[in-house]
């Protein structure tokens, strides 16, 4: 049986869209409807975002770089009673969610790097054909995992984690079909060490107007591998890791988590399905159920990795096939990694990594995998 939830779309005060994903009563059955009104005196998003962001081409690398100066004024670590992702309680601070309770919500980011509301035309910076520019089209969304102001995805009960997964899938399908979106990226940043600006348990979804540099590089390698061997590179990597075994962290019926042989970060784990699928939306119901258990297990091990009882800061990102290309070559997988290289120690990306993208790891993948197996419950 598929996971039951009710999706409801409501307008926000400035015209952005907010989506409720309810898995509890009385909302699930529709006995009550989401009819709270956002009364904040906000200017229309179409006006505030128009012309606010553009992407510029870097001729030295072939990358598109977003210029989003309006994001410099976004909310930064507000006091607990001004959490913009909490429900709006009577007489309290008016938040992004007008209702007094919710299960899971997704909404358009108020300070997006990419938005189809931006408008504008493509052109050339300073009239030079070296520097093509175009509007930073696309869409950026926030996904709140819970109305609770503390925790993260790792602390969710399985039922709620499954609802978040269904929200990710819903938004992946919708954004893949959105004009101007070339790739959808679902991710969570956790911890001050990562640079999180809002501690409320949440993640984000980016609908990029281009295929990202990292995905472009992986697709190039996958196509070269296909031409040379006739096989899928991502499948071959997963099969090789499973054969070697000593970097495997956990394995379930449908998923395997492993520390990659050439891991860049102090702690880095990839989680991949056993079946070849391009994105989250392609997972079966059984795979989705299995994924929730495997992912929560993995995140729990990360929090037990260091003996300091401090939740590990991490970035967790779902790598999915682009919307319009490479869907046969690319393969869904999660990459989760941390900058924490020891209790109270952070790996800073200094000269070699930041300037030259030449990575140096301070440990070995085999040691990391052994530790993650050791802290299994």
Is beta strand 202-208 parallel, antiparallel or unpaired with respect to 123-124?
unpaired
Cα torsion for 238, 241, 247, 249, to the nearest 10°?
A: 40
Q: CA-CA distance, 136 to 115, in Å (whole number)?
A: 6
> First-to-last CA distance in the chain?
28
Secondary structure (H, E, C), 64-133 = EEEECHHHHHCCCCCCHHHCCCCECCCCCCCCCECCCCCCEEEEECCCCCCCCCCCCCCEEHHHCCCCEE
Beta bridge partners of 140: 206
Q: Distance (Å, rounded) from C-alpha 233 to C-alpha 212?
A: 19
186 bridge partner residues: 205, 318
* Cα–Cα distance, 6 to 30 (Å, whole number): 8
Is 202 an annotated catalytic residue? yes
Given 3, 39, 200, 202, which residue is catalytic? Answer: 202
Q: What is the DSSP letter of 256?
A: E
β-bridge mates for residue 272, sequence order: 256
At CA 111, angle to CA 36 and CA 38, rounded to 5? 15
Query: Which residue intervals of 144-276 are DSSP H helices?
Result: 158-176, 213-229, 233-244
Catalytic residues, which ones? 202
């Amino acid at each position: 049986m598929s996971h039951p939830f009710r999706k409801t779309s409501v307008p926000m005060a400035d015209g952005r869209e907010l989506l409720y994903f309810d898995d509890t009563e009385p909302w699930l059955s529709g006995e009550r409807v989401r009819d709270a009104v956002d009364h904040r005196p906000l200017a229309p998003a179409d006006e505030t975002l128009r012309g606010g962001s553009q992407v510029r081409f870097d001729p030295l690398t072939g990358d598109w770089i977003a210029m989003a100066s309006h994001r410099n004024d976004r909310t930064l670590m507000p006091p607990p009673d001004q959490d913009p992702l909490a429900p709006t309680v009577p007489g309290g601070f008016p938040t992004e969610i007008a209702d007094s309770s919710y299960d899971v919500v997704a909404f358009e980011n108020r300070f997006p790097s990419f938005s189809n509301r931006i408008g504008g035309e493509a052109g050339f910076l300073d009239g030079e054909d070296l520097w093509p520019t175009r509007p930073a089209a696309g869409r950026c969304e926030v996904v709140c995992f819970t109305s609770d102001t503390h925790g993260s995805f790792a602390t969710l009960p399985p039922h709620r984690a499954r609802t978040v997964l269904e929200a990710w899938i819903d938004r992946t399908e919708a954004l893949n079909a959105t004009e101007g979106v070339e790739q959808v990226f679902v991710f969570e940043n956790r911890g001050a060490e990562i640079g999180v600006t809002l501690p409320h348990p949440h993640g984000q979804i980016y609908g990029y107007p281009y295929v990202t540099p990292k995905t472009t590089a992986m697709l190039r390698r996958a196509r070269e591998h296909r031409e040379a061997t006739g096989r899928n590179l991502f499948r071959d990597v997963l099969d090789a890791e499973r054969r070697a075994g000593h970097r495997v962290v956990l394995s379930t019926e449908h998923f395997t988590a492993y520390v990659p042989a050439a891991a860049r970060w102090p702690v880095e784990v990839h989680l991949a399905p056993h079946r070849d699928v391009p994105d989250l939306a392609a997972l079966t119901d059984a795979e989705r159920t299995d994924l929730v258990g495997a992912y929560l297990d993995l995140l729990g091990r990360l929090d037990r990795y260091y003996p300091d009882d401090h939740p590990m800061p991490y970035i967790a990102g779902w790598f999915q096939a682009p919307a319009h290309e490479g869907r046969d070559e690319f393969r869904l997988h999660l990459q989760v990694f941390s900058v924490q290289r020891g209790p109270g120690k952070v790996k800073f990306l200094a000269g070699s990594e930041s300037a030259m993208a030449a990575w140096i790891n301070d440990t070995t993948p085999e040691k990391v995998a052994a530790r993650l197996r050791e802290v299994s419950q």
